[in-house]
Amino acid sequence: MTKLLLRALAGETLPVPPIWMMRQAGRYLPEYRATRAEAGDFLSLCYNPELAAEVTLQPIRRFRFDAAILFADILLVPQALGADLWFVTGEGPRLSTITDGAEVAKLKAPDAIHDTLAPIYETVRRLSRDLPPETALIGFAGAPWTVATYMIAGRGTPDQAPAHALMRDDPEAFAALMERIEAATVEYLSRQVEAGAECVKLFDSWAGSLSGEAFERWSLAPMKRITAALKDRHAGLPVIAFPRGAGTAYEGAHAATGADCIALDDGVTPDWAAKHVQTGGCVQGNLASSHMVTGGAALVREVRRIREAFSGGPHVFNLGHGITPDADPDNVALMIDTLRETVDA
């Protein structure tokens, strides 16, 4: 039988939607913290296929999600292209910066990334072998705009101002960087699929800092080209696109990205999204991550509300963003139990 996630992504309306959770392998789980300590640091964990597969499998063992998502990081692609990458404890990632066309030109060719990323593909192969037969495997990458914001600023920023500045002041260098990231992303995701990923997701986490023509040109259009290239290489491959923060611009996003499913943040209501986005195809989301911390009756009510709002079409239940380190695993279990309860309970 086809896996529930793949059925939903193909457009099937299911009595109970499949469920997985962004960042479901992470710091809220004690077993993850133990494995990360064994690895020594975050990048060592990402590049160790045995341990990366282990942390990917941990939430599947504990919660029986319908899908696992590869444990990796969106900044591995910049590193594979030649950027320096390191993590500062308590502060997050740091990258060497790209500030002009000459620095873009020094980056590796998109098809030269695979030696660096070979351990990631091995992790996918291990997961394809070791996951339960009913559990789908999701590969992923950052979308070009979001990856570019980190490469230009060298770190996460509140408003992605450095990337906006380069876009404005040196549009040729900015476009060249975006093109390089886009081509590398196709290569990276294609290899994940060859290794066993059954669908892929593009995370454009900072799409909401773009608007109007810039949003269409630098968020939606690159995702559409990546999706088309992947589907050309891998016929029937399901793709999930997440232009986080898009607001009312989520409407029409299926056509604008070519994706089979649009992931929604919690900035839009399920009722609005069912009327304006789900008409285009499968949607994913969109429980507020804060419910994983607070739990209780409010969590139960919101899970039921989201399930009901999207019950008329294909839906993958998920959070509106990643689970936070202060979440209570018991609340994750409550979310899943509530979603899977009989509708007339």
Q: Which residues form the catalytic set?
A: 23, 27, 36, 73, 150
Question: Could you tell me if 91 and 161 are in contact, meaning their C-beta atoms sit under 8 angstroms apart?
Answer: no
Check if the beta carbon of residue 96 is closer than 8 Å to that of residue 86. Answer: no
Question: Which residues share a beta bridge with 285?
Answer: 317
Which is nearest to 188 in space by CA: 113, 280, 271, 278? 113
Angle value at C-alpha 305, between 302 and 306, nearest 5 degrees: 90
Dihedral over Cα of 106, 107, 110, 115: its sign: positive
Tally of residues, the chain:
345
- How far CA 34 is from CA of 4, 69, 72, 223, in Å, comes to 31, 19, 17, 36
Residue 255, token pair as written in the block: 């056509």
| Terminal Cα-to-Cα distance of the chain (whole angstroms) | 27
Sign, Cα dihedral of 145, 149, 150, 151: positive
SS3 for 253-285 is: HHHHHCCCEEECCCCCCHHHHHHHCHHHCEEEE
| H or E segment and range at residue 189 | helix 171-195
Measure the CA angle with vertex 85, ends 83 and 86; round to 5°. Answer: 165
What gap in Å lies between CA 302 and CA 300, rounded to an integer? 6
User: Residue 331, preceding bond cis, omega within 30 degrees?
Assistant: no
β-bridge partners, 204: 243
Determine phi and psi for 48, rounding to 5 degrees: -105, 100
Q: What six digits make up the tokens of 62?
A: 């504990």
Report helix, strand or coil for 106: coil
